[in-house]
Amino acid sequence: MRWQGRRGSANIEDRRGSRRGGGGMAGGVGGVGLIAILLIGWFFGIDVSPFLSDGQQSAPSEQSRSISAAEQREAQFVSVVLADTEEVWAEIFRRQVGEPYRPATLVLFSEVTSSPCGGASGATGPFYCPADRKAYLDTAFFTTLEDRLGADGDFAAAYVVAHEIAHHVQNELGILGQANRIRAQSNEIESNAISVRIELQADCFSGIWARYAEERFGSVEPGDLQEAVNAARQIGDDTLQRRAGRVPQPHTFSHGTSEQRARWFQTGYEQADIRACDTFSARQL
């Protein structure tokens, strides 16, 4: 991916110099969800018990530290990708929605932080919180993605950012709020099924972003799209459960299978149209 020397976004909130702790589990859509938190904890050997509490918030703590050169580079990369999403979605909203696009803020944190949707850590993965219209990302997830999940490449990391911003797009379109209201009135299995449709639509929106980024910025290099598709496959629910040594249980899926995630990303890339990403009306995912 060609990103060095390009414009970055001003909508970055970098908390990595001061670690803010908070109890509870992230409640925003876009986090890996309860089942996946357990799976990642089992697979990576992480103690996830602090994130499975009854939702009570502990008093936040704060520690200062210096930012490494590698972390500075990660922040620059994320800033450029975020700027790309802002330009792309502003254009798409103008063309396809007829409304202005209000960009999200992306919070960079290290290890733990707090949000209106609850506490977050590297174990919860990147997530979007509709309450404050912010996406949250521990850039250490990029290392996890590459070293432990087999999804390497800078465009795989860009896909992660684009996916979380896609949840913000859903929020701006009113889709996320409506889906979450229905989820709140549903049983666990039905709620998971709606969550899958939310996540697959975000994958599809990510594909639209990739197509526009390729045409508008010329940032997509040979092999980049394959990196994004591979990343989508590696974080499918069935693949994560197999990695955890368990037989996949579809009724527990909250993000979709590897095949579904990759296919919906490709649909977005090929169609480049919001209407093509209507996973809620799709008879077959």
Do 28 and 107 contact (CB within 8 A), yes or no?
Answer: no
For every one of its 285 residues, what pLDDT tens digit does the chain have, with 9 covering 90 and above? 878 778 899 999 998 876 554 444 444 555 444 444 444 443 333 333 333 344 444 444 555 667 778 778 888 999 999 999 999 999 999 999 999 999 999 999 988 888 998 887 766 788 999 999 999 998 888 888 777 777 777 888 899 999 999 999 999 999 999 999 999 999 999 999 999 999 999 999 999 999 999 999 888 888 888 999 998 998 899 998 998 899 999 999 999 999 999 999 999 999 999 999 999 999 999
Beta bridge partners of 20: 62
Bridge partners (DSSP) of residue 18 are 64
Locate 174 and state its tokens: 């009113």
**pTM of this prediction exceeds 0.85:** no
Strands 105-109 and 12-14: parallel
